Amino acid sequence: MGTIATNIENLLRELPPEVEVVAVTKTRTAGEAMEAYKAGLRLFGENRVQELAAKKDLLPDDVIWHLIGHLQSNKVRQAVAIASMIESVDSLKLLTKIDEEAVRQDKQIDCLLQFHIASEETKQGFGIEEADSTDWKEVTASLRAVRICGVMGMATFTNDSEQVRREFRTLALIFRNLHDRHFSGMEFFREISMGMTGDWLLAVEEGSTMVRVGTLIFGERIIR
């Protein structure tokens, strides 16, 4: 068994069965992604639309692709065409644009609302206060081709595990409040995408349903 397959086996042994793994293939080769596929993974995530498009053509058709990086407006058409889910919806303007494009393509697309829970200003996402001040029922009613399926967030890059835990707990609370106030009864609103290679265990403990891991599966990146 290869290293990638062994890493996946070890990860799945530790993960609760209800938590999904998004294999992050950023900067990885199609060959490496194929090894993960052969080891049983079917859910893959890319940060950039261009890389997603390139790898999609090289991997089997039953791979489910998530866009997990910041989406620029001029890449929406391509993202809608090739992704099953866009996890990084960080503004109402972007959400509307995705919906309009999905209507044009006659396609339903799933999205997650990305919230800014970290201390770093460079990270993207809705502000925490927007979770409370936005009428998400009204937003949902206006959408014709987008399903809002949950929330996504990235914790601060720090060795302070208690800070990371607090940030994940904040995202889980945002999810519960949104669910109870705006999405109650909508079975598709169920995802909390949080946790990466360095903090996935904390994320799972705080309620993550989806972890986005790359290095844990593929090993350290080789700069090419």
C-beta separation of 18 from 209 below 8 A:
yes
- pLDDT tens digits for 125-151? 999 899 889 999 999 999 999 999 999
pLDDT for the residue numbered 84 = 97
Using one digit for the tens of pLDDT, what is the confidence trace for 177-186? 999 999 998 9
pLDDT of residue 22: 98
pLDDT at 121 over 90: no
Contact 46, 69 (CB under 8 A): yes
**SS3 of 147, please?**
strand
The per-type count for the chain, helices as H runs and strands as E runs, is 10, 8
What's the confidence (pLDDT) of residue 222? 59
Q: Any idea where the domains of the chain sit in the sequence?
A: 3-218
Q: What is the pLDDT of residues 154-172, one digit of tens each?
A: 999 999 999 999 999 999 9
* AA letter at 87: E
**pLDDT tens digits along 3-19:** 999 999 999 999 999 99
Asked if residue 63 lies in contact with residue 25, where contact means CB atoms within 8 angstroms, the answer is no
Q: What is the pLDDT of residues 9-64, one digit of tens each?
A: 999 999 999 999 999 999 999 999 999 999 999 999 999 999 999 999 999 999 99
Q: Which of 3, 18, 10 is nearest to 208 (CA)?
A: 18
- Looking at the domain 3-218, which fold is it? TIM Barrel (3.20.20)
pLDDT band at 120 (very low <50, low <70, confident <90, very high): confident
Please state, for a pLDDT cut of 70, what percent of the chain lies above it: 98
d(CA 174, CA 178): 6
Kindly report which listed range (79-93, 104-118, 208-222) carries the lowest average pLDDT score.
Answer: 208-222
pLDDT band per the 50, 70, 90 thresholds, residue 79: very high
Kindly state the average pLDDT of the residues 88-98. Answer: 97
Helix (H), strand (E) at residue 148: strand 146-153
Q: What are phi and psi of 6, to 5 degrees?
A: -65, -45
Q: What is the DSSP letter of 154?
A: -
Is residue 182 within 8 Å of 136, Cβ to Cβ?
yes
DSSP category for residue 126 = B
For residues 163 and 156, the answer to whether their CB atoms sit within 8 Å is: yes
At residue 123, the pLDDT reads: 77
- Picking from 89, 93, 54, 92, the residue whose alpha carbon sits closest to that of residue 69 is 89
